[in-house]
Structure 1
Amino acid sequence: MKLARILACFATIALYLSPAELARAQSTVKLSGTVPFESLRLPTYGDLEATQNLALQIWFKPRNQGELNTLAAAQQNPGSPQYHKWLTPQEYTVRFGVTQEEFDKVSHWLTSEGFQVTGGSPAQGFVKFNGSVASISHTFNTAISKFSADGTKFANATDPQLPAEYGGLVSSITGLSNLFASKALSANPARPAEEGLAARSMSNPAASLKEPLMLASLPAASPAVESPDVTMGGQTSLTPNDFYTFYDEGPLKTAGVTGTGCIAIVGDSDFNTAPIAAFNNQFGLPDNSANITKILVDGTSPGINSDEVETLVDLEWSHSVAPGAAIKYFLGNGSSSTNGPIVDAIQGAVTNGACGVISVSFSLCGGSSSFYTTTIGNIITQAQIQGQTILVSAGDDGAAGAVFNGASCVTGTTKNVNELASNPFITSVGGTAFNAGSLTSHTTERAWNDSDDPIGSFAGGGATGGGASIYFSKPTYQNGLTPNDNARDQPDVAFVASPNYPGAFVYQDPTTVGTNNCLQTSAGACLQVYGGTSLAAAAWAGVADLLVQKSGANVGSINSQVYQSAGAGQSAAGFYDITAGDNNFNGVAGFTAQAGYDQVTGWGTIDINNFVTAFVETPTGSSSAMAAATAVPAATATATNTATPTPTPTPTPTATATPGPQAVVTVTKSGTGGGSPTNTVAGGTFTIANKTKSTQTINSVTINVSDPFVFSSFTLTATIGTTSSTSSPPATLKNTVFTFSPALSLPAGQTATFALSTVIALTPGMIDRPGVRFAYASIIPSAGNGTNGNGLGHLLLGLGLLGMCLAGTSERRRLKIAIFAAMLTVVAIGAAGCGGSSSGPSGNGLFSSTQTVESASVTVGAVPQTVGGVPVKLGTITV
């Protein structure tokens, strides 16, 4: 009887200490960079209800990462046997995708944790699952906070953790946060379509559209206008035939180069075909309206919504430039997506693999760093391995870009870029406007910026995006050709985008846009004028398809060759250099167009015939020209004194400068986080070692800081031997330059140690407010009512049960049970202590980082807090 009682007690304890609890006693892996920046500045409304159900996706790491990187470089190297030898999606899965065994292993683990597996496959690279917030918090050791009163907006407070046995297979988890959105990048001027037909015979306006567009010079413009207005002698907007004339596509069309294969268009709205049929009929294009293949990547259609406008711009104008190519439309459904419909649509186009060109006319805002560098980054890498060329709009909000305001994308008030377009394998497309001139061929252009237009009806029309990424380091192909900012710069190229100068005709659906400013010319179709970098990206997608036909095969990412050929001579490469205009917008000082590359229009627009011919005849890519898509914190080092070697991205936390005429310095960063999927290192200290035979002078150190908005200032202290020197510049949005005066003198063979400290840009009132969190930090447990994920409460309850079991047993048996209890205590304490920097979610409390062993003093407003390491990720370091 007593034996039965003891066994029953042990059975109770065994049931309480579930396999999940025991798994937490093992080593865990933290998925870094998953906390969205917006969670730092948006108000919180407590923790998400424990019973609420969420849909999540686990994304798998590519296998054989080294082989994958080598192949990606070889495919871009004309001297390699692997040059342009692309893989099919099936071949990619076999060589680099997750295996069925690994997929099943993770799926079974999720089921054992109480989740419901709902989809995914090795070919898709992810597994879908559902579960309650309580289960998610318990399994992944993180809390989910509300960022709207009704709980429809939420985000994880800390990076998730999972057992190393499974963590080694996983690159990211999506669905823990939905603080992101997408924005269609088509611009419609504030004027009726009739103005685009100003001097036409309004008794038959449609017939006059087939006449060529002629621009008429004006007298001297008002001083308020940066460049002359464009007016039209007759029609004021662009048709496909005008586009062929201005950008010299005619010779290719005559030679039968009109496109081949298919172009993938991604979107989030269904569409009616009547406008497409009307567009093709009006402008003499092959009618493909009934032959556009529609792929529902999320299983169901979202129906027609306001983004049908964007869909029709993309479908009509990509077809205009490459009328011989088929169109596949990949349609995402936001109501059934954990990643947003646009990311799902891109992933669908890549997994499908049928089209050699993918056009994306959306900007993403919000999200975490790993969302761009890892989740989307792995999708884009697969596209490159398959030879798919991806064109993405740079944005319509100038240098201000788009930011997430808690509900949607809105124009920023500081410099931002479309980070979706920042991936080095993606070609970012900016926009231009036409200058005045009488045309029978190309006219001069300027950067698209209609925001300062003095004509009231045109004001606020938008401006081309452009700037520097905060997530991606500078790819090798941009070295020496773009600003020395240690970041991926965009755009790469441009096309006409102004909706006013001259704007392009697009047939729309009157049931969506109404008929007030839409000239109805046939049933179910009306004529409007549009612009935006979506127009430019769709046109470039058409050009990329012409490259595919002319080359006889897919061409993959075109960036490496574009930069090498344009850098050697824009005109010879087929580029029109844009040297006028800027992308200042919404009070944000942006960038100015200039000779050569700039962060407004990239290398410029093109003579299509010359560009396609030169691109196909003179491949110039090299094995080192295409850098892998890595996050900014991948470290590089250059010297600004006697020798300046070329910075080389590296996948490890330690970077050595490429030797120039003299070997210079080695930069080593200390702290945890090295080797993470995003190649980042937690803030703290780093060293610079002089490897030369003479004393080197260090005038300044530039540190690229991720998530800089958390901080109001930085201090960098340099120590050489027993001498210390401090520099405290104001924090900037991106690069923080620490200038030492007098300059640091680093003797041969010696090492300088640098320690970074910060002041966090939060007030004491904010830090005392329940629910306040900042990224890369863990929670100091408080008296809050949040759930503790470290198992200590489970331990106490388990010991209480054990104590009840001990009552009434013999002394010898109590001794044996007590010994077993001690063993359980060790296991439970181990479970409570594992996981490194994350101490389990709490509803209230302050935060502390334990990411690195170095200590630093961080001031939160006026409240000093001592933390283990600065909660900041150091980016590219330049000395």
Structure 2
Amino acid sequence: MKTEHVMIALSIAAAFATLPSITKASSSNPALAGIDTTEASRVTQAVNNNVVSALSHTHLSLLANATPAGRVDDALPMNHMQLILQRSASRESALQALITAQHDPSSSKFHQWLTPEEFGTTFGVTDADIAAVKSWLISQGFTVNGVYPNKLQIDFSGTAGLVRQAFRTQENRYVVNHVTHIANANDISVPSALRDVVVGVAGLNDFRPQPLHVAPQVAQFDRNKSNFKIKQPSNSTAGTPGHSAVNFTGGVRGFVPYDMQTIYNVTSLYTSGVTGTGITIAVVEDVDMYTPDWANFVSQFGLGSYGGTFTQFQPQLTPSTGNCTDPGGNSPGGESIETVLDSEYSTAIAPGANIWVATCADSDSTNFFGGVFTAADNLINNSDPTGRPNVISASYGYGEGFTDAASKAAIDLMWAQGDAEGISVFISSGDSGSNPSFNGSIINGVGIDANSFATSPNDTAVGGTDTADVLDGTTNKYFNSTLNAVYGSAKSYVPEITWNQSCGNTQAASKLVHTSALQFCKNALIYDPYGYYVTSESGSGGPSSIDAKPSWQRIVRGAAKDQSRDLPDVSLFGGSYGGYSWVILCTGFYPCTANFTSPVELVAGTSLSSPMFAGIQALIDQGLYNAGLPKNQGNAAPTLYELARSEYGGPTGKTPPTLAGCNSDNGTSGTGKCVFYNITAGGNSTQCIQVAAFAQTTPDCYFYGTIQNFQQFYGPTLVGLTATSTSKYNATTAAFAAQPGWSFANGLGSVNANNLLKAWKSFVGAP
């Protein structure tokens, strides 16, 4: 063994001795003018496998108290893992300064975007350090499939046995919610000589977040009432069913593209020729869709004249690492409802845009977020500019508390790279209130959290709203009683509240039973003694425990006085109390037919909100391009917050009249010039439980009662509402209430797309 160690050390030392010890970035790109990130290699010693350092948080915390169901066989293939590298502090500082300048209209670097190669050379790890890490991986028996252009990710493959020997961690099997997974049992270790340049390994577990939509429902149109009768849950395997505290027996409402276009005022942009033409929106997925669905959707809802295009493909690197294969699903019975939803409702808002459905199989795992991460990562690292989209939408999520450090680091560096390249990224904030990890179930065992896929400061998180007309009794004011030629009924903007399907919905409590949400929930115990209607289904928001608050998130009234990147940034329609309002999909199993003579699928969730906002961004991009400016805008959030400050005011100082004037509650009254609709009604405090049989506590939950035998199976269970206090529950402690300005419930609120484009043009100095 000593001889083997000496040979390894000598081979690695020889590898980086043949390379320059200093890497200097040079480019003619104006964005890099004056930026000098020259630095020496940080791997300065021969790699000694007997001198190692543990990398903290490199295994899943959710398995901390789990008992393994057995060891994984050493021969198990583990393909396309990624070694995530860490740039130096000086390069990190230089990158953040550049991104800030790229979003500052007064800077010479404004909208001067990078290529993946420029990003890697300037802000990645030096070639010498990459060579040292690669040599060590090869010496351990791994196959190195390639280094990403960003010089921060090394794709490699091996076996569970090689992982155990090289990283000193055992791959075990764990049974969670009756499903068997594999994961590393403890934090990994690497040779101390590599410690400064290695974050960890992504791809050591096969847990996967869920798409962020409510379980689809199959419904039949009732021509006499112009509404739908739900027949049965969809046969889709994507998402899990949840219960609503109230079910509407007289039928439900199915929104169509026309309704969303009218509510958020995008139709006026169409009349000026702004439809998203020339802009590419990529929705990133881990299962295909049945491709005829999109054409069926476009035809059914009269979108064909706008000239949008559709492509489904697997994005590859050049040269290819082989880490993105077709996941399958291009059939009526195998498609993903999530993929259908994302593609159809980005088109619903931007019908002239080019829609890319970029899919990679989860089995080619490189990250906790699987094929969704790979698809986005490969697009952002495409060396061909025609292979990079203008906008990306991702509708998947899981809490930071359930994501390993390497995967989280990889996500954040990916979105930072996308931002520096000018790509606008939109992510769903989540569908389970103050913790996004419980879509279709109930928060338990953990407290407040935020979607780890969205908490980077380089993306825009989109939360969920509900239209207020049903609870307000104003439906006739905002919707026609009969449908038009494209099956729409919306007349105008509709007041909005926070989407919340639990008894924690303050608006439902007030309007339906004239009481507080807390009392509403207590009353529910009488009529639901086994807790079958306890739910956490709601638009999500919360503070990051990892990413720091960006400066642009501090500048608007209502901004949380914390040090965290907070979610969401904005919101659009996501769902409704009682499951009354949905959007209509055209799917393979249930294609849309003229006059809805056959059943359709209805769906909701922040998986709807994100692709719709991506569509709005495509309209903004085309509108700016028509004015002679670059198409790409990078992360939308910094500009959105600047525009919101003009409307809502800053965190201190005099309150502008537009804060009240642009309140969503006003509907169309006096809001004609508003960019944002400030949503101040409702909140996303939802139900949470603590099951005695689980022997675990649930923090951030105010318990108001006990269910003696939860769902007639789990035994005594405490039930409560998510809160920042466990001793009292009110508007101040509820997690979280809507409020004037920014809020954890709905961020800056929703938007008037036409006014947003006007304000954006003014901000960037467009003619």
Alignment correspondent of 1:321: 349
Match of 2:624 among 537, 551, 557: 551
Q: Does the residue aligned with 1:34 lie in a helix, a strand or coil? A: coil
In 2, the alpha carbon distance for the partners of 1:566 and 1:333 equals 39
1:267 aligned onto 2:282: no
Q: Does the residue aligned with 2:586 lie in a helix, a strand or coil? A: strand
Match of 2:612 among 539, 547, 550: 539
Alignment correspondent of 2:8: 19
Alignment correspondent of 1:388: 423
In 2, the alpha carbon distance for the partners of 1:79 and 1:156 equals 51
What letter matches 2:637 in structure 1? Answer: N
Alignment correspondent of 1:679: none
Match of 2:390 among 328, 352, 356: 356
In 1, the alpha carbon distance for the partners of 2:441 and 2:366 equals 21
Q: Report Cα offsets for 1:286-339 as digits up to 9, x if no partner.
A: 277974242245332111176611111111110111112101121020112131
Q: Report Cα offsets for 1:234-268 as digits up to 9, x if no partner.
A: x9322212222222112211111111320010111
Matches within 5 A, 1:217-256: 236-256=253-273
Preserved CA contact (<8 Å) 1:397 1:462: yes
In 1, the alpha carbon distance for the partners of 2:311 and 2:574 equals 25
In 2, the alpha carbon distance for the partners of 1:250 and 1:134 equals 58
Q: Report Cα offsets for 1:692-730 as digits up to 9, x if no partner.
A: xxxxxxxxxxxxxxxxxxxxxxxxxxxxxxxxxxxxxxx
Distance 1:307 1:103, change over 3 A: farther
1:578 aligned onto 2:698: no
Match of 2:327 among 293, 297, 302: 302
Deviates more, 1:545-554 or 1:290-299: 290-299
Q: Report Cα offsets for 1:49-93 as digits up to 9, x if no partner.
A: 444443322123347333322211111122110011111223323
1:346 aligned onto 2:376: yes
Shift, 1:551, TM fit: 2.0
In 1, the alpha carbon distance for the partners of 2:352 and 2:99 equals 29
Match of 1:57 among 82, 99, 103: 82
Preserved CA contact (<8 Å) 1:84 1:387: yes
Matches within 5 A, 1:745-764: none
1:445 aligned onto 2:496: yes
Deviates more, 1:127-136 or 1:548-557: 127-136
In 2, the alpha carbon distance for the partners of 1:576 and 1:498 equals 17
Q: Does the residue aligned with 1:472 lie in a helix, a strand or coil? A: strand
Shift, 1:525, TM fit: 9.2
Matches within 5 A, 1:197-236: 199-200=225-226, 236=253
Distance 1:303 1:378, change over 3 A: same
Structure 2 length-normalised TM: 0.67
1:147 aligned onto 2:225: no
1:412 aligned onto 2:449: no
Alignment correspondent of 1:504: 583
Preserved CA contact (<8 Å) 2:68 2:173: yes
In 1, the alpha carbon distance for the partners of 2:468 and 2:405 equals 41
Q: Does the residue aligned with 1:508 lie in a helix, a strand or coil? A: coil
1:479 aligned onto 2:498: no
Shift, 1:469, TM fit: 1.7
Shift, 1:447, TM fit: 0.8
Match of 2:456 among 423, 429, 436: 423
Alignment correspondent of 2:143: 116
In 1, the alpha carbon distance for the partners of 2:202 and 2:308 equals 36
Distance 1:619 1:372, change over 3 A: farther
Q: Does the residue aligned with 2:84 lie in a helix, a strand or coil? A: strand
Match of 1:566 among 638, 644, 650: 644
Shift, 1:25, TM fit: 6.7
What letter matches 1:605 in structure 2? Answer: S
Distance 1:431 1:409, change over 3 A: closer
Preserved CA contact (<8 Å) 1:450 1:459: no
Matches within 5 A, 1:814-829: none
Matches within 5 A, 1:47-196: 47-55=71-79, 56-62=81-87, 64-98=91-125, 102-122=129-149, 125-148=152-175, 152-164=181-193, 166-178=194-206, 180-188=207-215, 192-194=219-221
1:34 aligned onto 2:58: yes
What letter matches 1:379 in structure 2? Answer: M
Q: Does the residue aligned with 1:391 lie in a helix, a strand or coil? A: strand
Shift, 1:184, TM fit: 0.9
Q: Report Cα offsets for 1:422-442 as digits up to 9, x if no partner.
A: 111111111111122312211
1:282 aligned onto 2:300: yes
After TM superposition, where is structure 1 displaced by more than 6 Å over at least 4 residues in a row?
Answer: 228-232, 287-290, 453-459, 522-525
Distance 1:74 1:498, change over 3 A: same
Preserved CA contact (<8 Å) 1:265 1:328: yes
Structure 1 length-normalised TM: 0.59
Deviates more, 1:82-91 or 1:128-137: 128-137
Q: CA RMSD in A?
A: 3.6
Preserved CA contact (<8 Å) 2:308 2:354: no
Q: Does the residue aligned with 2:687 lie in a helix, a strand or coil? A: coil
Shift, 1:529, TM fit: 2.0
Q: Report Cα offsets for 1:157-212 as digits up to 9, x if no partner.
A: 12422242x4444343212333x3121112246562426x662499xxxxxxxxxx
Alignment correspondent of 1:330: 358
Q: Does the residue aligned with 1:277 lie in a helix, a strand or coil? A: helix
Q: Does the residue aligned with 1:329 lie in a helix, a strand or coil? A: strand
Distance 1:608 1:115, change over 3 A: same
Percentage of matched positions with identical amino acids: 27
Distance 1:252 1:458, change over 3 A: farther
Distance 1:460 1:231, change over 3 A: farther
Preserved CA contact (<8 Å) 1:182 1:363: yes
Preserved CA contact (<8 Å) 1:237 1:505: yes
Distance 1:487 1:276, change over 3 A: same
Alignment correspondent of 1:463: 538
Distance 1:375 1:532, change over 3 A: same
What letter matches 1:19 in structure 2? Answer: I
In 1, the alpha carbon distance for the partners of 2:552 and 2:378 equals 28
Distance 1:409 1:377, change over 3 A: farther
In 1, the alpha carbon distance for the partners of 2:397 and 2:569 equals 16
In 1, the alpha carbon distance for the partners of 2:151 and 2:143 equals 18
Distance 1:198 1:33, change over 3 A: farther
Alignment correspondent of 1:433: 466
Preserved CA contact (<8 Å) 1:20 1:113: no
Q: Does the residue aligned with 1:237 lie in a helix, a strand or coil? A: strand
In 1, the alpha carbon distance for the partners of 2:2 and 2:127 equals 35
Distance 1:127 1:13, change over 3 A: closer
Preserved CA contact (<8 Å) 1:193 1:529: no
Q: Does the residue aligned with 2:393 lie in a helix, a strand or coil? A: strand
Preserved CA contact (<8 Å) 1:143 1:158: no
Deviates more, 1:540-549 or 1:51-60: 51-60
Q: Does the residue aligned with 2:633 lie in a helix, a strand or coil? A: coil
Larger radius of gyration: 1
How many residues in Structure 1 have an aligned counterpart in Structure 2?
Answer: 571
Match of 1:495 among 564, 567, 572: 572
In 2, the alpha carbon distance for the partners of 1:70 and 1:83 equals 12
Shift, 1:47, TM fit: 4.8
